[in-house]
Structure formats: C-alpha cells, structure tokens
Amino acid sequence: MFRIALAALFALGLLAGIGRAADKEVTGTLVKVDVKNSTLTVKTDDGEKTYDVNADTKFLGPKGGASDTGLKDDRLVKGAMLKLVIAGNNRTAREVHLPERKGKK
C-alpha cells in the first residue's frame, strides 16, 4: 500500500513539473497593445506574435516590482523591449517583464 501511495505522489509530481516546464521565455519589441481584447503583439526574430493577457498575468518591472496597471502601464509603448514568459499553450503570457521608465527631460 505504501508503495502505491509513493508511486502516485511521484507521478503527480512529474505531471506538475511537466505543466510548468512547458513555459518558455520570449524577448521582443512591442508592436501593439490591445486593451479591449487583452492582447500584446511582439516582434521577435521569428516574426510578429500576439499573446493573450488575463487576470493571472503578472506585469513586473526591471527590479521585480509588480505593476498594478497591467496593459495600461505607461512603459508599454511601441518599440519597448519586453521579456515574456509564455504558457505551454503558446498563446497566453504568464509574465510580462517591463523596461525601466524613461526619465523626464
């Protein structure tokens, strides 16, 4: 009985790891923000790709601080360099790493 329980826990741990391991990082230049449809379009070496953003997507600054404004963050401007963590479905952004704010001149 103990062996079965141990094997089940091990299998569950493997499955949980597989789901998270499917995430990938994408770096690119912001092309478009669509607040209405909750999407970001980014240009990478592979071309342009549009990613969905949802309530679980984290927007993080360069020092690790979270942004509460999401797609309305002032750093999300055309041409901004972004790093995204994309879910295993290859459509949804789990994390959006924002650049530093530009200083006022």
Q: Which residues contact 91 (CB under 8 A, 6 or more apart)?
A: 51, 52
Give me the domains of the chain, ranges plus CATH numbers: 24-97 (2.40.50.320)
Query: Of 51, 42, 60, which Cα lies nearest the Cα of 92?
Result: 51
Indicate if the pLDDT at residue 20 is higher than 60: no
CA distances (Å), 82 to each of 16, 31, 40, in order?
27, 10, 10
Q: Tell me the pairing of strands 47-52 and 58-60.
A: unpaired
Task: Report the Cα 100 to chain-centroid distance in Å.
Answer: 17
- Span 22-81, pLDDT tens digits: 799 999 999 999 999 999 999 999 999 999 999 999 999 999 999 999 999 999 999 999
Looking at residue 79, its pLDDT comes to 96
The answer to whether 61 and 26 have CB atoms below 8 angstroms apart is no
Q: Which two tokens stand for residue 29?
A: 């230049």
- Rounded to two decimals, the pTM is 0.76
